[in-house]
Chain A
Amino acid sequence: MINRIVQTMADAMADIRDGSTVLVGGFGAVGQPNALIDGLIEHGAKELTVVSNNPGVGRVGLARLLDLGRVRKIICSFPRSSDPVVFEQLYREGKIELEIVAQGTMAERMRAAGAGIAAFYTATSVGTKLAAGKETREFNGRRYVMEMALPGDVALIEAWQADRWGNLTYRATGRNFNPVMAMAGKLTIVQSQHIVELGELDPEKVVTPGIFVDRVLHVPYGDPKQS
């Protein structure tokens, strides 16, 4: 019997090693797996590379992970937020490495990783400083920049519904990076608002099939603002 549902946060976080690349879903507060981020803080892994669109708000969640010195490098498209105080201080002090990636390139690098594609060419960033040092090539008269796939050792995902096979649905724009990161993570860990019986999800509405998912933790915690 396949059962990807775990009962405790410790089981969800088991085996995450120091030095891991961790993909963290969410766009702003929406779709961000806050309980799993707190679980990762509790778990204690360090020297992490975090891939997330934003570097966190205030001193909680992702920002707290940074604040505790657990993150060596952050890969993001938008190193700002309504209150990026922790990131900005660490960055000023040279205590965290930053890789800025165009948002579409970031999503596509993870999609490529999940799809077994080593690298791809995109017109995004051609002629800008984000293309500095990268291979460029012309196809059909247009220049493109080569970008490498971005796999994760771990992906932390927030879903709306999950079953024991790990089939997932999302709610509204809470979807964002989550399905892409679920594909790109070697160990994909999900917090889900709702757990449903196998067969209860309409197969036409499953966004992430369970084959991309390793562990599911039931975290009914209210709306993104309250988290």
Chain B
Amino acid sequence: MSVNVATTWKPLTRAQMAARVAADIPDGWYVNLGIGIPTLVADHVAAEREVVFHSENGIVGMGPAPTADTVDPWLINAGKQHVTLRTGGSYVHHADSFAIIRGGHLDLCVLGAFQVAENGDIANWATSDNDTAPAVGGAMDLCVGVKRLWVVMEHTTRTGESRLVRKCSYPLTALGVVKRVYTNLAVLDVTAEGFVVREMISGLTLPGLQEVTGAPLRMAQ
């Protein structure tokens, strides 16, 4: 009896992807989380751990969402959701907030992306050159400014095309900046020799992963 290999592994959920990223963030880091799956990462960092979350709109030390009766209408994050300030947190204005970003003070930024290329190029702000009014926000500043840029995204698009590519076809957000990619199938480092697979979900093999990846892969030594 033949076995369909595709049925022997199960892609991570969004929450599992976020938890996987969170597991790699050490205490003491200052971290900016982008919108989407990256925002979920904070849910998987225990409150007693001293990982300090920064938000572009002027928070150093962002805490979780408030309860209904503790909402401060003046306290939102970059995704415009109500949040809290953790003990030790502070507020800065926009120029200082981006000095924190652009001045290389953040240890890590985790962003979503449409595509990541094997040379570390990232496309995450516009889906085509015909997108005439795309919203860049702080993405370009984060990509070039932080000490490490990790991307968390689905391995493929809804139509099955790889988001890991040899060369981005979407408009670039920044060149050669992504250090690591977490997908629903694998964790990969971006190296001078391209994508290096650090781990895969249970049941998946390198040939199986390569089949759904638009750039050459090799295993970490």
> Which residues of A pack against B, CB within 8 Å?
27-31, 77-80, 82, 88, 91, 98, 100-105, 107-108, 110-111, 122-130, 170-180, 207, 223-225
Contact = CB atoms under 8 A, between A and B. Distances in A.
A108 B73 contact: no
Interface string B120-148: 00000000010011111111110011000
Interface size class of B (residues with CB under 8 A): 35 or more
Nearest to B142: A104
A188 to B, nearest CB: 14
Interface string B138-166: 11110011000000000000000000000
A180 B94 contact: yes
A124 B140 contact: yes
B198 interface: no
Interface of B: 55-59, 72-78, 80, 85, 91-95, 97-98, 101-102, 129, 132-141, 144-145, 171-175
B141 A103 contact: yes
Nearest to A112: B95
Nearest to A226: B73
A113 B136 CA distance: 22
Contact of B94 (A30, A102, A177): A177
Nearest to B102: A104
Chain B at the A interface: SS class: loop
A110 to B, nearest CB: 7
A73 to B, nearest CB: 13
B10 to A, nearest CB: 34
A75 to B, nearest CB: 12
Contact of B59 (A128, A130, A173): A173
Nearest to B72: A172
B57 A176 contact: yes
Contacts of A207: 93
Given A103-B141, A129-B171, A30 B74 contact: yes
Closest 5 CB pairs of A and B: A104-B98, A104-B141, A223-B73, A172-B74, A107-B94
Contacts of A80: 135
Contact of B102 (A124, A178, A180): A124
